[in-house]
Amino acid sequence: MAVVTVGSVQAGTKSNIIPERATLLVNIRAYDVAVREHLLTAIKRIVNAEWRGGR
């Protein structure tokens, strides 16, 4: 079992302009190190895929 919490999302200063960069702060908590690593790998894969899709 694990918990993933998004603590912060920061991107740009205008509502009608797509920013050049964004920062997402994520907290991952898991009892098992293997589960934590699996989640971290999955999050990186998803963020990377979304980034590539938006380019």
| End-to-end CA separation in angstroms for the chain | 34
Q: Is residue 6 part of a domain?
A: yes
User: What are the tens digits of pLDDT across the range 38-48?
Assistant: 999 999 999 99
User: What are the tens digits of pLDDT across the range 13-44?
Assistant: 998 998 888 899 999 999 999 999 999 999 99
Q: Is residue 17 part of a domain?
A: no
Q: Is residue 16 part of a domain?
A: no
Cβ-defined contacts of 5-12 (< 8 Å, 24+): 5/29
**Element housing 2 (H / E):** strand 2-11
Q: Is residue 42 part of a domain?
A: yes
Domain that residue 26 falls in = 2-11+22-53
Say if residue 55's pLDDT is above 80. Answer: no
- Beta 22-30 vs 2-11: how paired, if at all? antiparallel
Q: Is residue 47 part of a domain?
A: yes
Number of domains, the chain? 1
Q: Is residue 34 part of a domain?
A: yes
